[in-house]
Amino acid sequence: MPTISIFQEDFCGLIGRSASMSDIEQWMPYVKGEVKDVSPDTGEVRVELQDTNRPDLWCVEGIARQIRSVLNKGMTPYAFFSDKKGAKRRIQVAQGMEAVRPYVAACVSLGYAMTPEGLDQCIQTQEKLADAFGRKRETVSIGLYRFASIAFPVTYGLVKPDEIRFTPLGFEEKMTPQEILTVHPKGLEYGSILAGCERLPLLWDSDGQVLSFPPIINSRELGEVQLGDTDLFVEVTGTDLSMVVLALNIFACNLADRGATIESVDITYPYKTEFGTTVTTPLDMNQSQRISLEAIEQALGMPLGSEAIQEALASYGYQVKATRQSVSVALPPFRNDLMHVMDVAEDVAITRGYDSFSPIMPQTFTVGSLSVEEQTSDRIRDLLVGFGFQEIFSNIMASHQELVDRMRIADTEYARLVEVDNVMSQTYACLRPSILPCLLRVEAQSPRAFYPHLLFEVGETAQLDLEANVGSRTTLSIAAISANSGANFSEIHSYLDLLMYYMVWPYELEPVTHPSFLEGRVGRIRCHGHAVGYIGEFHPEVLEAWQIDMPTSGFEFEIRKPEA
Amino acid sequence: MNSPNNTDSLHPLEIQVLRALGKDPQPLTDLQLAQHTELAASQVSMAVGWLLTKQLVSLTSETTTTYVSLTTVGTQFQQAASPPEWILQTVKTAAQEGSSPTVKDLQGTGHFQPTELSRAIGILKKEGVLQLGTGGTLEATGQASATIEALRSLLNRVHEGSRPLDSFASDHQSLLRQYAVKRGNTQEPFRIDDHTERAYCLTDEGRNLLPHLREGAAQEISQLTPELLKDGSWRNVSFRKYSINLRPPRLAVGRRHSYREFLDTVKYKLTSMGFQEMRGELIETEFWDMDALFMPQFHPARAIHDVYFVKNPQKAKTIPEPFLSQVAQVHRDGGTSGSKGWKYEYDSERAKRLVLRSQGTAVSARTLAQNPPIPGKFFSIARCFRYDNVDATHATDFFQVEGIVLGSDINFRTLLGLLQLFATEMAQAKEIRFFPAYFPFTEPSVELHVRHPKLGWMELGGAGLFRSEVTVPLGVTVPVIAWGLGLDRMAMVALGIQDIRDLFTSDLEAVRNMRRQF
């Protein structure tokens, strides 16, 4: 979810009327935006945009366009999408691009002199689109150039990593693409996108001047747009043609909204694309489609009628064609997010305002219930609270040190854990297979809390089980410890015995050896014939590892679903 | 305590001290009080402490005097002999027997520490009382030792009772200091320390109470015992009245964890509204965690939050059919859901990748695939994990309260109705607002904002109608509401917590002190 900066004055210019801060806030539902911060002095508004399917709204021009459309009850189509005269300029795509970065889209923007706010917004849009929509430039990246210096046609082709030299943005000297990948900050940041490519993508003009090394960096000569520049060349390259074209459409509309005249560019491919071998961009990819009014009315729970729905959709920017039998709609060319009639239904609801729909209270009768596991947990919790135990509630993620090393079970069969691959912090690198370490953590951190300490937790644990479909099982366990100067086996056994009595779970203790507990003072708990857990006095080495000075004993066992 | 002092609540010790002070026109010191009341010094100091807080007595003077007293070592010296005394005697006795002991011989007897002996020998030699013979032997010169005499007289005088240091002559004072316990040498006969003597008198209020002091307070008892009950003798005693406003001692008791108790009320509320609990596994496949929820495998919508991947094994063995094929189809081209789909080649292997459940909605997706009853209402309180830096607003694992409602009558307005019900039931909110929202798996999507009576306007939850791309591949043909409630902020305010990590704190004192304010 991108957060962007817009400026009140700039915004007002784009919607063509004055707007107060509270107006802007009130209109935010139309763009699924949330105002995060307002600076009244500078007129800056920080807006978070929620919809990952509406990259056209990740810029002030797009937000203004959507709101303008609703306020004006519709929008005039952008003429350049239906320009049938054919483009004056061309990009030739070279052989071999299909294996590296297959698609490019471009346009020319004339007659809009770059203002400071215009340039800032252009850069912000370029970054947000390439970063969030283009997956950090992997699928989409964007370049802006000074149009006047470019000799068309432009070639989008491949070069050997050290075949050519040009001056990249941010540097004074000429470098090869290979040098850029190893030295330039952008090369280091985005170079992995081109990993394994023997030849690298490059845009150059008919005079042999380099425009850019996509998706890494522009050339300094052609690709450094400055304030006051009136004519721009815009290109988008990437791996998904629809996304590449959509990003260019958005950029073209943004510049048009600021007063530029947009001219198309022909892209000629030596291979087939879903839009043919010559693609004229910007390109309106949306086709008109019939929608079921009934489906929309049913979904919204309101018989709105054809006219109201048409009006709402037109207001929201759709192109609507109605015949007596049906209604066809098309999204505006800067959007590409219509997958299902429900997407249309939501736009109707947004245009009309969610508050205009009166809620209907649920009428259907259903029986509520808790799961058997939860009911059993609650009974155990009630009993232990009655026995005088304080309930503890822990995180399920913990460190290897806590779960294994401090429990004295390193390199034993008990040390089998579910671990995470992408560790963020060693403190939270594993899922707990047992709750006892969580209770010992509390004891270790609480020597100053007055004694006795009787603690318990009922909760989920993860058992590594390579037989299981997902390689592990989620189990429900009860663990309890007693820490006080007189804590011993007999005391904790009394609590276990009482718990088992009231739960009506006959159990046996089987003498075993367990590294966490003192030899001869530990037992395996067997219930209904299953080994379900352990009870014992913690080994002094375990207590030392936790830096616990108090004798501590405890038990833990898995709560099994009663067998059918 | 603001309440007037009541003589009934006075402790017998307090009464005795008050009486003693009342009898004497002069202020009395602790020592005098102990003598007059025949109480132990500790009892007097306790009673005086209480009376001072009740402002029934006041401090009139405070004088600090330096006292000399005997240590246990000093008592031994006084009863037997001090080191110089013993050395001189031993040497003299040996001489009568015709022998001259060496320093080593004296040390060999085990009397006194070697350092003490050498100090004493040094003093005696300096005084000319002892002299060294050939071979290191010690011989008495026959001269008397001033130190031995002075020490003897001091030991005897101090033995009678501790005395002020300045009651001794100045040369004796320096001797006392020399032989007094110091840091690093505790084996000395004298102890010199400061005694602060405080004198007290009655305040006006204390004096006014005097006529009302009850008689026979000393015979009052504080605790009724089984014996008193058995033989009926409780009839002959009187029970001391307590100061009932004193803070009672703390107890260590059994108690539910406050945050879990909060979640308990949520689950009972939901079951009372007709919701049935669902449970799921902590470890999920990407399939159920995301693909089944129509979050495309390679698309910005997937990156809405980051997940933890499992290290070993990395993949599940299988994804159940027909769900895998149907979900793959809906991602590719929409299948039979009426959607165009995401239009990409679905990767069935990636679907098996194991992750820590990142959203409770995964539990709902599994329920949808299990041929749930229609109409049906379900909820889960599911532990979820996000790959995020842990800070005051992000916990490593946390609970999501979420669920689904299935029914042929479900639409956008019944969705709003359900949210309105949540607002009143969960947050006691009368004012609510709905905002458009985005979730990858619902359309339309709503954000519910409510005015909580204590917290003001807050986001309570998000909801929507599950996309057909979610329900149809899982075999559900009726509309389904998917909802989630964000209750942690409410819980934190109710529990007086600022940092989300404190919901799962390991500090027992904090756990014991946590309580719900509303």
Q: How far apart are CA A364 and CA B513, in angstroms?
A: 42
A3-71 matches A289-354 in fold: yes
For the record, the structure tokens of A17 come out as 């009327």
Which residues from chain A sit within 8 angstroms of residue B285, using beta carbons? 470
For the record, the structure tokens of A123 come out as 């850069």
CA distances from B187 to A21, A165, A542, B179 (A): 83, 90, 42, 9
Question: What is the pLDDT, as a whole number, of residue B3?
Answer: 42
Question: What is the pLDDT, as a whole number, of residue B300?
Answer: 62
- pLDDT tens figures, A172-181: 999 999 999 9
User: Distance (Å) from the C-alpha of residue A509 to the closest C-alpha of chain B?
Assistant: 26
Best mutation site among A25, A294, A361, A395 for testing chain B: the one with the most B CBs within 10 Å?
A395
Which residues from chain A sit within 8 angstroms of residue B419, using beta carbons? 359
Which residues from chain A sit within 8 angstroms of residue B250, using beta carbons? 450
Domain ranges of chain A: 3-71, 79-281, 289-354, 372-558
A112: nearest Cα among A266, A267, A251: A251
A474: nearest Cα among A530, A558, A564: A558
Overall residue count recorded for chain B in this entry: 518
End-to-end CA distance of chain B: 30
Q: Quick one: closest CA in A to B501, which residue?
A: A395
Query: Residue with structure tokens 């505790």?
Result: B186
Beta strands in B335-406 (DSSP E): 354-356, 376-385, 397-406
Task: Say whether pLDDT at A523 is over 90.
Answer: yes
Give residues with Cβ within 8 angstroms of A315, minimum separation 6: A69, A70, A73, A74, A351
User: What element of type H or E holds B327?
Assistant: helix B323-333
Which residues from chain A sit within 8 angstroms of residue B311, using beta carbons? 418-421
Q: Quick one: closest CA in B to A365, which residue?
A: B274
Q: How far apart are CA B370 and CA B183, in angstroms?
A: 80
Q: Is residue B508 classed as helix, strand or coil in its secondary structure? A: helix
B415: nearest Cα among A339, A305, A358, A34: A358
Are B432 and B420 in contact, with CB atoms under 8 Å apart?
Answer: yes
Domain A372-558 has CATH 3.40.50.300: no
Task: Say whether pLDDT at A271 is over 90.
Answer: yes
With CB atoms and an 8 Å threshold, state whether A132 touches B354: no
Best mutation site among B251, B253, B255, B257 for testing chain A: the one with the most A CBs within 10 Å?
B257
For the record, the structure tokens of B264 come out as 């308990």
Question: What is the pLDDT, as a whole number, of residue A562?
Answer: 56
A293: nearest Cα among A341, A228, A240: A341
Q: Is residue B463 classed as helix, strand or coil in its secondary structure? A: strand
Q: Is residue A262 classed as helix, strand or coil in its secondary structure? A: strand
Return the ∠ at Cα A46 (arms to A45 and A52), rounded to 5°.
130
Q: Quick one: closest CA in B to A348, which residue?
A: B444
User: Could you write out the DSSP letters of every residue in A495-553?
Assistant: HHHHHHHHHT--EEEEE---TTEEEEEEEEEEETTEEEEEEEEEPHHHHHHHT--S-EE
Q: How far apart are CA A462 and CA A466, in angstroms?
A: 12
User: Distance (Å) from the C-alpha of residue A240 to the closest C-alpha of chain B?
Assistant: 10
Residues of chain B with pLDDT under 50: 1-3
Query: Residue with structure tokens 């009014």?
Result: A293
Question: What is the pLDDT, as a whole number, of residue B1?
Answer: 38
Are A394 and B504 in contact, with CB atoms under 8 Å apart?
Answer: yes
With CB atoms and an 8 Å threshold, state whether A354 touches B416: yes
Q: Quick one: closest CA in B to A443, which residue?
A: B508
With CB atoms and an 8 Å threshold, state whether B509 touches A421: no
User: Could you write out the DSSP letters of every residue in A267-320?
Assistant: EE-SS--TT-SEEEES---PPPEEE-HHHHHHHHTS---HHHHHHHHHHTT-EE
Beta strands in B296-375 (DSSP E): 354-356
Are B444 and B466 in contact, with CB atoms under 8 Å apart?
Answer: no
User: Distance (Å) from the C-alpha of residue A354 to the closest C-alpha of chain B?
Assistant: 6
Which of 456-515 (B) contact A at CB < 8 A? 465, 467-469, 479, 503-504, 506-509, 511-512
Give residues with Cβ within 8 angstroms of B305, minimum separation 6: B358, B359, B386, B387, B388
Q: Does B296 touch chain A (CB under 8 A)?
A: no
Which residues from chain B sit within 8 angstroms of residue A33, using beta carbons? none
Which residues on neighbouring strands pair with residue A155, listed in sequence order? Answer: A92, A204
Question: What is the pLDDT, as a whole number, of residue B216?
Answer: 59
Are B474 and B488 in contact, with CB atoms under 8 Å apart?
Answer: no
Q: Quick one: closest CA in B to A384, which residue?
A: B254
Give residues with Cβ within 8 angstroms of B178, minimum separation 6: none
> How is domain A3-71 classified at the architecture level of CATH?
2-Layer Sandwich (3.30)
- Facing residue for A52 by CB, picked from B276, B412, B438: B438
Which residues from chain B sit within 8 angstroms of residue A466, using beta carbons? 313
Q: Is residue B305 classed as helix, strand or coil in its secondary structure? A: coil
> How is domain B72-188 classified at the architecture level of CATH?
Orthogonal Bundle (1.10)
B72-188 matches B260-513 in fold: no
Task: Say whether pLDDT at A326 is over 80.
Answer: no
Q: Quick one: closest CA in B to A30, which residue?
A: B436
Q: How far apart are CA B447 and CA B450, in angstroms?
A: 10
Are A167 and A175 in contact, with CB atoms under 8 Å apart?
Answer: yes
User: Distance (Å) from the C-alpha of residue A452 to the closest C-alpha of chain B?
Assistant: 7
Higher-pLDDT residue of A75 and B187 is A75
Task: Say whether pLDDT at A139 is over 70.
Answer: yes
Task: Give Dmax (Cα) for chain B.
Answer: 127
With CB atoms and an 8 Å threshold, state whether A350 touches B436: yes
Average pLDDT over residues A374-378: 96
Pick the CATH number of B260-513 from 3.40.630.30, 3.30.930.10, 1.10.287.3510, 3.40.50.300: 3.30.930.10
Which residues from chain A sit within 8 angstroms of residue B411, using beta carbons? 298-301
- pLDDT tens figures, A547-564: 999 999 999 999 986 554
Which residues from chain B sit within 8 angstroms of residue A385, using beta carbons? 254-256
Q: Quick one: closest CA in A to B513, which residue?
A: A449
User: Distance (Å) from the C-alpha of residue B78 to the closest C-alpha of chain A?
Assistant: 44
Which residues from chain A sit within 8 angstroms of residue B304, using beta carbons? 1, 52
Q: Does B340 touch chain A (CB under 8 A)?
A: yes
Q: Quick one: closest CA in A to B373, which residue?
A: A366
User: Distance (Å) from the C-alpha of residue A431 to the closest C-alpha of chain B?
Assistant: 9
Q: Quick one: closest CA in A to B315, which residue?
A: A470
Q: How far apart are CA B403 and CA B363, in angstroms?
A: 8
Question: What is the pLDDT, as a whole number, of residue B63?
Answer: 86
For A79-281, give the CATH class: alpha beta
Return the ∠ at Cα B44 (arms to B42 and B45), rounded to 5°.
65
Which residues from chain B sit within 8 angstroms of residue A349, using beta carbons? 412, 436, 444
User: Distance (Å) from the C-alpha of residue A313 to the closest C-alpha of chain B?
Assistant: 15
- Backbone CA torsion sign across A408, A414, A415, A419: negative
In percent, the amount of chain A with pLDDT more than 90 equals 86
Q: Quick one: closest CA in B to A475, which residue?
A: B281
Question: What is the pLDDT, as a whole number, of residue B13?
Answer: 86
- Facing residue for A340 by CB, picked from B317, B339, B418: B339
User: Could you write out the DSSP letters of every residue in B399-421?
Assistant: EEEEEEEE-TT--HHHHHHHHHH
Which residues from chain B sit within 8 angstroms of residue A443, using beta carbons? 508
Question: What is the pLDDT, as a whole number, of residue A561?
Answer: 66
Task: Say whether pLDDT at A393 is over 90.
Answer: yes
Domain ranges of chain B: 72-188, 260-513
Best mutation site among A35, A52, A347, A451 for testing chain B: the one with the most B CBs within 10 Å?
A52
For the record, the structure tokens of A148 come out as 């006047």
B176: nearest Cα among B196, B195, B158: B158
- Facing residue for A299 by CB, picked from B387, B465, B503: B465
A213: nearest Cα among A170, A262, A274: A170
HEC readout, B105-157: HHHHCCCCCHHHHHHHHHHHHHHCCEEECHHHEEEECCCCCHHHHHHHHHHHH
With CB atoms and an 8 Å threshold, state whether B275 touches A345: no
Q: Does B518 touch chain A (CB under 8 A)?
A: no
User: Could you write out the DSSP letters of every residue in B224-266?
Assistant: --HHHHHSSGGGGS-BPPP-TTSPPPP----B--HHHHHHHHH
User: Distance (Å) from the C-alpha of residue B273 to the closest C-alpha of chain A?
Assistant: 7
Which of 348-367 (B) contact A at CB < 8 A? 354, 356
With CB atoms and an 8 Å threshold, state whether A300 touches B412: yes
Pick the CATH number of A289-354 from 3.20.20.70, 3.40.640.10, 2.30.30.100, 3.30.56.10: 3.30.56.10
Question: What is the pLDDT, as a whole number, of residue A417?
Answer: 95
The count of CB pairs under 8 A between chains A and B is 279
Q: Quick one: closest CA in A to B397, which residue?
A: A395
- Facing residue for B506 by CB, picked from A1, A340, A441: A441
CA distances from B421 to A99, A350, A512, B133 (A): 55, 22, 55, 109
Q: How far apart are CA A420 and CA B153, in angstroms?
A: 82
With CB atoms and an 8 Å threshold, state whether B509 touches A446: yes
Q: How far apart are CA B266 and CA B486, in angstroms?
A: 12
- ipTM for the whole complex: 0.91
Q: Does B304 touch chain A (CB under 8 A)?
A: yes
Q: Is residue A76 classed as helix, strand or coil in its secondary structure? A: coil
Task: Say whether pLDDT at A397 is over 50.
Answer: yes
Question: What is the pLDDT, as a whole number, of residue A564?
Answer: 41
